[in-house]
Each structure stands twice: as structure tokens, then as C-alpha cells.
Structure 1
Amino acid sequence: MQKLDIYVGYDGKVEPIAYHNFCQSVIEKSSIPVSFTPLALNTLKDYEETHKDGSNAFIYSRFLVPYLNNFKGIALFVDGDMTCRTDIAEILTNFDNDEAVKVVKHNYTTKHPVKYLGAKNEDYPKKNWSSVMLWNCSHWLNKQLTPKFVQEQTGKYLHRFEWLKYPEEQVGKLDETWNWLETEYEYNLDAKLVHHTLGTPCFKDYQNTDYAQEWWETYQRMIYPLKGKNRESEL
């Protein structure tokens, strides 16, 4: 039986609930076995985070997924601030072994210069491409992505996929519904992975965004499965 290994960005200082809520949303709808690995820096014994830039704790460690998966098979990386609205097995459709990784190739300018906790939300090339990555872990070019290699590279180099020989050809394209940017894009009933990119509904400023109700319903089923009460105020 096919199984999917999912690596999820984890930031214990900012929004740990986002990780757990995302996992719950996947489990509820998946038709295949899934395993979750939080990219928590304290668990990555072979990797020392030496970079000083970055808006979250997993901005570089996401590129360790092929290494963590023993350079074998298919694995999925997602930012933790997401909600899954469909069977995650569907993302494996049309997987191409010639491609090193598949992403949603966003081409947008942000509407919001500020995101959660007042952080700057700046534009840059290939913004949010790397927030959902379906990895071909056994691809020969991905075998460069060792802890030492990732430690030594810049964010620009990694997030623009410059370790690949032909990035335009070796980075495949996922349908944009697999990384639907809430508040940046209009509401889409068919969105499969909603990315609460400005902030999850656990932040006061984002409690009433387009998909916030679905996020809260997932939270309530996870925390209060028998009561089914509205508990937003208790976070």
C-alpha cells in the first residue's frame, strides 16, 4: 500500500497549534497511511542552524527533507500554517520521476505588507514556492542536500532551487489549489491546501478570514471531540 511521508514546518515559539491542526486536517480526509515529522530544530541532531535571517524556524531545514527521507521515495513538505481540505493522496497524481520537486509556481505581489505579530511581508522572486514541496527524494540532484550543504547556502540559493542543473525544467508544477494563499487570493471552494500565509486563525487579527471557520472546526474536533463547543477564546 502506498504511504506518504509528510514533513511539516514547526515553530514552537510562535504557533505550535498550527502544526497539530494541520495534521488533524490531513488525517481526517486521507485515504492512505501518512506519517508526520515536525521540522523542529531540537530534533535535527545532524543540522546546526547558523543562518541569522528568516521569518520562521524552518525556513532552511525544509530543504533537508530528501536527506531525512534517506534520499528515497516521495515526501511532502508543507508549512505548518495550512489546512488540508481534500484527500492528500490526490497530490501524488501525475508525479514525474524526471522532476526533482513539484511546487505551486505563484506569480503575485502581496496585498499585505504586514503579517502575524507585525512581521514584514516582503515580495521576492518565487515567493511561497517552497512553502509546499512534493519531493522526489531519490532524484540525483537532491542528493546534494545534506545538512552541511544546507548550512552553507543562502536563502536565495535554496528558495530559488539553484542547486538544480535546469531549475525551469526540474521543478515541476502543482495546481495552484495545492497552495491556495488565503487573503492574497479570493475564496476558492475547490482549494485543496489552504495556506494561512499571513497568520493562522489562532492570531486575533486573522480569526475571521475566508477559511478561518474550517480551521476552528478542525481545532474543535481535535481538542473537544465530545463537546463540540466553540472554544476559540480559550487559546
Structure 2
Amino acid sequence: MASSNHLPGTTLPPFMIFIGYDPREDAAYNVCRHSLLKHSSIPLHISPIKQSDLRSSNLYSRKRDTTESTEFSFTRFLTPYLAGFQGWAMFVDCDFLYTADVADLVALIDDRFAVMCVHHEYVPKETTKMDGAVQTVYPRKNWSSMVLYNCGHPKNRILTPELVSSETGAFLHRFRWLDDEEIGSVPFVWNFLVGHNRVVENDPTTFPKAIHYTLGGPWFERYKDCEFADLWLKELEECEKEKKGDY
């Protein structure tokens, strides 16, 4: 189900956000969605990208292989298609926790680019992540975990269900349908990799606006004590209270 945050007196159309969904990480999806809505000063339209729904609608037919750590490893690239190839939209993995207003990220949008993301230089040391999924290493790793898509950009029209179901992981995750100058950059705090990025003491500009538990978050027993676990668990508690109507 899509969810919206409609603020009184606003006339802007909701900004579209697609969150990758995996049944193993249902709690992570709900917390990510909750944190986005809680901090946002602009209307949002949030939808999960569920592989089962896409398959039943004949929008995705790719056979799963061992390199896919989540059900949205490839379905994420359908974001422009799902947005009707119009306007800007964001894709984000479900293992994110927002601590700031996503409107500040939207304000960085620049129509010169086809996509915008954090340009990580990230080579994980671990061989597994989450609940034992294989950790793959490739150029531009984690660039595709949070992407602002210029859905109306002519080059993004290549991202059809047929192409996303058949192209290689290297082609998609490295944005090979684009020239380098068409890939805009945003500050790393909007995709702060737990265990990789660091908060610099007395420098508030380094504190994460979007915490990415890329190796695994506190919803997995193995990572229950990871960095920023307390913030995620607090958000989970708030989320569950809201569901029960205790707020």
C-alpha cells in the first residue's frame, strides 16, 4: 500500500518515494517509511517495491541468482517506469533510517542530471551481510541504494520491465546506460554507511541524515548492537505505538 503525508495548506504534488521491500525485512521497511514521514515538511507518496506484485503484474520475470541479497536487488531500477517516466522520484533500500527532513535532499535536485546519488568509494571487508547473504564487491557499490531519478530524462526511458528483467547487474548497478556527467552527486550524509562512514567530532555536517545499515541492522540478531542501533530501535517503538493508536 502506498502512504501519503498530506500537510495542511500545501499544494505541491506529493514527492514519490519507492522503498525496496523484502519479506525478511518487513520491520525495516516500516521503520524507514515511518522515519521519512515523521521528519518530512513536504507531502510524500511512499510505495513499497514488492517483487511478488511485479511478477503477478508481468512487470518482472528475472530468475533470481546467488548474487541477489534482497528481493529488490534489481527491481529498484523500475523506479522511473513505476513513476510513469515523469518528474523526479527517489528509490531507497528499506534498511535506511531518516533523521532529517527529506525535503532538504529534494532541494538538491538538479535537472541537468539523469540520476543523483552518493558517490561512495566503498569496498566491504566482510564476505557476508544481513542474515548470511553473500557480500558482493563491484565498482560504484551502494550508489544504487539511494537514488534520485529524473524519471522524465530521455536516457532513463531505457529502464523498461523487459530491460530490467534481462540486463546484467553490472550494467544496472553501475548506471552504464548513462554517461558519467549525467550522474549527479549528493552529500554522503544522505546515505551514511554504518561501519564505513564516520561522524567527525564537533562537525555536525558529518552526522547522518539517512543512516544506511548496509551490512545488517538491529532487526537481525547478528547486528542487534550495531552502531546507531539505539536510534533504529527507538523509531521501531514509535512506529509500533502509532500502529496501536497509543500516540
Code of the residue aligned with 1:49 in structure 2: it is S
Deviations 1:164-211 (A, max 9, x none): 2x1x10011011111000122234662111100011211112111221
Cα distance in 1 between the residues matched to 2:137 and 2:222: 21
Task: Tell me if structure 1 keeps the 8 A contact 2:60–2:75.
Answer: no
Deviation at 1:227, TM superposition (A): 10
CA distance in structure 2 between the partners assigned to 1:172 and 1:227 by the alignment: 41
Structure 1 partner of 2:34? 24
Task: Report the alpha carbon displacement of residue 57 of structure 1 after superposing the two structures with TM.
Answer: 0.4
Shift in alpha-carbon separation, 1:209–1:149, aligned structure 2, 3 A: same
Tell me how many residue pairs correspond in the alignment.
225
Alignment partners' CA distance in 1, 2:116 and 2:182: 8
2:47 aligned residue: 37
User: Aligned to 2:39, what secondary structure does the other structure show?
Assistant: coil
* Aligned twin of 2:22: 11
Map 1:93-104 → 2, pairs under 5 A: 93-104=107-118
- CA shift for structure 1 position 119: 2.1
Residues 125-166 of structure 1 show CA distances to partners (whole Å, capped at 9, x for unaligned) of: 1100000000100001001111012112111111111112x1
In 1, the alpha carbon distance for the partners of 2:199 and 2:135 equals 20
Q: 1:162 aligns with which of 160, 170, 176?
A: 176
Q: What do residues 14-70 of structure 1 show as CA deviations (whole Å, max 9, x unaligned)? A: 211110110011111100111111010122213123233211101111111111101
Aligned-partner Cα distance in 2 for 1:112–1:46 = 36
Aligned partner (choices 111, 120, 136) of residue 106 of structure 1: 120
Q: Distance in 1 between matches of 2:191 and 2:150?
A: 18
| Identity in percent | 36
Measured in 1, the distance between the counterparts of 2:18 and 2:176 equals 22
1:176 lines up with 2:188 in the alignment? yes
**Paired position in structure 1 for 2:238:** 221
Amino acid at match of 2:170: K
Cα distance in 1, alignment partners of residues 241 and 83 from structure 2: 34
Query: What's the offset of the Cα at 1:72?
Result: 0.4
- Distance, in Å, in 1 between the alignment partners of 2:112 and 2:63 is 31
Q: What CA distance in whole angstroms lies between the structure 1 residues aligned with 2:69 and 2:141?
A: 13
Q: TM-score, normalised by structure 2?
A: 0.86
Contact 1:65 1:75 in 2 (8 A): yes
Distance 1:105 1:96 in 2: 16
Where does structure 1 differ by over 4 angstroms across 4 or more consecutive aligned residues?
225-228
Contact 1:111 1:184 in 2 (8 A): no
Q: How does 1:121-136 map to 2 (within 5 A)?
A: 121-136=135-150
CA distance in 1, matches of 2:210, 2:89: 16
Aligned-residue offset at 1:112: 2.4
Contact 2:88/2:148, CA 8 A, preserved across alignment: yes
What amino acid does structure 2 have at the position aligned with 1:10?
Answer: Y
Q: What amino acid maps onto 1:179 in structure 2? A: N
> What displacement does 1:96 show?
1.4
What CA distance in whole angstroms lies between the structure 2 residues aligned with 1:46 and 1:138? 23
1:232 — aligned with what? none
Between 1:40-49 and 1:180-189, the stretch displaced more is: 180-189
What do residues 90-147 of structure 1 show as CA deviations (whole Å, max 9, x unaligned)?
A: 1112311121000111012213222122222232111000000001000010011110
In structure 1, distance between residues paired with 2:77 and 2:218 = 27
